[in-house]
Chains A and B, each alone.
Chain A
Amino acid sequence: MMDRLYALYMREAKRIFRSVYMWIMLISQPIMWLVFFGSSFSGVPSQVLTSFFHTTNYIAFILPGELSISMLFVGMFSSMSLIQDKRFGYLKRVLITPTPKYDVFLAKTLGGMTRGLLQVPILLVASYFLGVRLDLTPLSLGVLFLSLAFVGIGFSSLYSMFTLKTADWQAPGVISNLINLPLMFSSTALFPKAFFPGWLRAISDVNPLTYAAELNRGMLLYNDPSWNYLGYLAMFALVMVLLGSILTNKYLNAE
Chain B
Amino acid sequence: MYSIETENLTKKYGDFVAVDHISFKVEKGEIFGLLGPNGAGKTTTIKMLTGLTPPTEGDAVIAGYSIRKNPIEVKSRIGWISSEVILDDDLTAWENLEIQARLTGVRNWKERATSLLKYFGILDFANRKTGKFSTGMRKKLEVSMALLNSPEVIFMDEPTIGLDVNTRATMWNLIREINRDYQVTILLTTHYMEEADSLCSRIGIINKGKIIALGTPEELKSRYGGDIIEIELKNGTNVNVGFENAVVTNGKVRIKVSNAETMLMDVIRAIGNDNIKGIKINKSSLDTVFINLTGGTIEEQDFDARRFYAMIRRARR
Contact = CB atoms under 8 A, between A and B. Distances in A.
A243 B289 CA distance: 54
A143 B86 CA distance: 41
B103 A4 contact: yes
Contact of A93 (B72, B78, B82): B82
Contact of B100 (A15, A89, A97, A98): A97
Contact of A14 (B53, B82, B91, B103): B91
B49 to A, nearest CB: 10
A90 B90 CA distance: 12
B99 interface: yes
Which bucket holds chain A's interface residue count? 20 to 34
Interface in B39-55: 50-53
Given A14-B91, A98-B76, A8 B84 contact: no
A18 B52 contact: no
B105 interface: yes
A254 interface: yes
B105 A3 contact: yes
A47 interface: no
Contacts of A6: 102
A68 B316 CA distance: 37
A178 to B, nearest CB: 21
Which bucket holds chain B's interface residue count? 20 to 34
A135 B252 CA distance: 87
Contacts of A88: 86
A254 B102 contact: no
Interface in A7-21: 7-8, 10-11, 14-15, 18-19
A77 to B, nearest CB: 14
A86 B157 CA distance: 18
A11 B91 contact: yes
Contacts of A96: 50-52, 75, 78, 80
A115 B99 CA distance: 20
- A interface secondary structure, majority: helix
Interface in B52-86: 52-53, 72, 75-76, 78, 80, 82, 84, 86
Pick from A18, A94, A97 the residue with the most CB of B within 10 Å: A97
Contacts, number: 63
A7 B75 contact: no
Nearest to B77: A98
Contacts of B50: 96
Contacts of B51: 95-96
Contacts of B177: none
Interface in A83-103: 88-90, 92-99
A90 B88 contact: yes
B52 A99 contact: no
Interface string B277-317: 00000000000000000000000000000000000000010
A4 B102 contact: yes
Contacts of A4: 102-103, 105
Given A6-B102, A96-B50, A97-B100, A14 B78 contact: no
Interface in B85-140: 86, 88, 90-91, 95, 98-100, 102-105
A174 interface: no
A8 B99 contact: yes
A33 to B, nearest CB: 28
Nearest to A99: B103
Contacts of A98: 72, 75-76, 103-105
Interface of B: 50-53, 72, 75-76, 78, 80, 82, 84, 86, 88, 90-91, 95, 98-100, 102-105, 316
27 contacts: A1-B105, A3-B102, A4-B102, A4-B105, A6-B102, A7-B98, A7-B102, A11-B91, A11-B99, A14-B91, A14-B95, A15-B91, A89-B82, A89-B84, A89-B86, A92-B52, A93-B86, A93-B100, A95-B52, A96-B50, A96-B51, A96-B78, A98-B72, A98-B75, A98-B76, A253-B316, A254-B53
Given A4-B105, A7-B98, 9 more contacts: A3-B105, A4-B103, A11-B99, A92-B82, A96-B51, A97-B76, A97-B100, A98-B105, A99-B103
